[in-house]
Amino acid sequence: MKHSIKDWLLATRPWSFPASAMPVLVTLFYLWWTGHDVNWAFGIWAIINIVAFHASGNTWSDYFDFKKGVDAEDTYGNRTLTDGLFLPGQIKGLALGLLLVGSVFGVTLICLTGLPLLYIGIGGLICILLYPFFKYRALGDVVIFMAYAFLPTIGTSYVAIGEIDWSVWIVGLPVGLITVSILHSNNLRDLRTDARADISTFAALVGQRFSVAIYVMEVLIPFVSVVVCVIQGWLPVYSLLVLVALVPGWRACRVMLSYKSGGSEVIANLDQASAQLQLVFSLLFSVGLVLGVLI
C-alpha cells in the first residue's frame, strides 16, 4: 500500500507534540525573563530536535504495543497498526528513521554547545528505547516526566545559555505534570485491554478511584504552583494568565470525574483533550513571561 506524507505524519500522532515542544518554549521565555542572554537559534533547534525524538518515541511505543497485543481492534487511541493502515515493520522503520534524524540533529547541537548535552541526550534516548519496558511495569509516568519535564528543561537551559539554571524547575514542574496527565488518562482508559495483555501501568497499580484523583491533581496542581510562585516573586504577575486555562482544565477534570459512572468510553478522547490543555496552558504561560520582560 502506498502512503502519502500525511499518512506518515498522522502515524506519529502529531496532536501530542505540544507535550515535548512546550516545555522547551516555556523554558526559553523563563530564561529570558530571568535576565539571561538566550541563544534563540539553539532554542528553536532544541524544539525541532525534541519533536523528532517524540515522534520516534510515539511510533516505537505503537510498534511494541501492537506486537505485545496491548493494541488490538477493540482498543482506543492510534489505530495505524490495528486497522492495518501500516505494517509493523513500516512503523518500526519510521521510529528508527526518526530516531536517526533526531540523533544527527542532537550530535550536531552537542558539537556546537558542549559535552554535558551528550549526557542529557543519552537520558532521552534511554527514555525512548526503554519506554515500552518501563510502561509495562508501571513506570511509564515516571519516564514521561523525565523525558518531557526534567530533561527538556535542563537541556534547554544548557543549549540556550551555556549552563544549567536549576530554577527552570519552576516552569518545568507545572508543564510536566499536565504532560503526565495525558498518559495517565490514556492508561486509565485502557485498563481492561492492558490487563488482557498482561501489563501493569501506574493507573492499574493504584486502581480506578485513585487514578481519577491523581489525574485531577495533575491538572490542578500546576495552576496552584504558578500562583504560589507569583506570590513568592519567582514568576512575573503576568504568569497568572495561565488561570484562563482553568476553563478547559476544569472541563477535563469533569470528564474524568464522570469515569466512575460512564467507564472508559467517556474518557476515550481525554488524552487528546489533555494535550490541548497543556498547549493552552503553556502558551498562556509563555505570553505571561514575555509580558514580564516587555512591561
Q: What is the pLDDT of residues 194-249, one digit of tens each?
A: 888 888 899 999 999 999 999 999 999 999 999 999 999 999 999 999 999 999 99
22-52 burial, b at 16+ Cβ within 10 Å, e below that, comes to bbbbbbbbbbbbbebebbeebbebbbebbbb
What is residue 136's three-state secondary structure? coil
Whether the CB-CB separation of 27 and 75 falls below 8 Å is answered with no
Reply yes or no on whether the pLDDT at 144 is more than 80. yes
Cα–Cα distance measured from residue 167 to residue 171, given in angstroms and rounded to the nearest whole number: 8
- Residues pairing with 200 in the sheet: 137
The pLDDT value recorded for residue 69 is 79
Average of per-residue pLDDT across 106-122? 93
Per residue in 27-69, pLDDT (tens digit) is 999 999 999 999 999 999 999 999 999 999 999 998 988 888 7
Average of per-residue pLDDT across 282-291? 97
